[in-house]
Amino acid sequence: MDNEQNKDLAREIIDRPKWTEALKKFIDVLRINILVVDNQGRMIVPPDFDERNSRARYGAQLFQSAFGFDFTDAESDVLSKFKQHGPYLEACGAMDLYAFAVPIKALEDKTIAYLIAGPLILNKRLESQNYARQAEELALDEDELTDVIHEIRVVSFVTIKSILDLLAQIAKDIVDLNIEKRNIHARRFNKEIYPQSVASVAQDMYSTIHLDELLITALDVALNCTGAECGSIMLLDKEKNEFTIKVSKGLDQQKVLAARTRMGEGVSGLAAQENRPLVIKGTEGDSRLKPFLKRPEIKQSAVIPLSIQNRVLGILNVHTKKDAVSIDVGERNIQHLSRLISTAIQSI
């Protein structure tokens, strides 16, 4: 399949209105702009736009001045400005701004498009005089540039790697589920299209597999962001009104299989019932929690409800058994994780 076929396939699979709606949720949660280009670097889904201020959000207006990206010019080779960095592509532009490209793969594992995330600042912003000098060199208004720079998110490399992993998994899920649903593969290769009843069962199985993959990636994101080494994600079974562990890391598998939590029961159940995170040091806790804190080997833990519009979907549990480790359970980090993983679950 050549580049032109890949480009056509990208526009067939990537429904612009639906992807725009889906990505907007992650843009709001991550505070990072995300757009989609085909395998030639031509725009499919544009940067998010702030209607009130009539400008792109989270620094997207700097794509051209800082990186030389021109998504509207058919002759502009946007992707050539990126370099391979592990499974993703990385571009470093003026003012030490970074952009990352996540390959979107489809039939026969061909790259048909890219998610581009950025601009981003790695680790810390430059001194103000450096931005003033860059504004002069790039013929930008210094005050406007300062405002835009402070809108751009500062991340560590570990954090952006986790975010890119999650975006890659979400893109894979959306593409694969769309192909399955629309039978694109069958139409392209003249294969038999399954009867509706069979296709429906296959779709349910497919969704389950993809949700598991997504949850594994989401748990890795949570562990990387908090610095914890153990954790789990529980999801609510509406029919049984109980939470069960879907994915875990660093936990005894027999306990994982046996674990059941009802709303309001135990530490996780209380966090879910009140829809608020609980942060615990060792076996210290208020009178409600004290009876459940029977594992002195756990030095610090956080129990975080995963909810959308006050509807609890699941529970994220992370903890460390290491005395020297203090997991990052700041309020902002907890809110970010809860919204990010909840949005990812909802996307499937």
Q: How far apart are CA 317 and CA 247, in angstroms?
A: 11
Beta strands in the chain (DSSP E): 34-38, 43-45, 49-50, 55-56, 83-85, 88-92, 97-105, 111-122, 154-155, 230-237, 242-249, 261-262, 278-281, 300-308, 311-320
pTM of the predicted protein model: 0.67
Burial of 204 (0-12, 13-18, 19+ CB in 10 A): exposed
Domain boundaries, the chain: 3-178, 229-347
If you classify domain 229-347 with CATH, what class do you get?
A: alpha beta
229-347 matches 3-178 in CATH topology: yes
Q: Cα 217 to the chain's mean position, in Å? A: 9
pLDDT of residue 105: 85
- The conformation of residue 117, written as its DSSP 8-state character, comes to E
- Its CATH architecture, for the domain 3-178, is 2-Layer Sandwich (3.30)
pLDDT of residue 7: 57
Higher pLDDT, 49 or 83: 83
pLDDT in tens, 132-160: 998 898 888 888 888 889 989 888 887 88
Q: How far apart are CA 172 and CA 22, in angstroms?
A: 13
CB 292 within 8 A of CB 330: no
Partners of residue 36 on adjacent β-strands? 45, 115
pLDDT in tens, 300-335: 888 889 888 888 889 998 888 887 667 776 777 777
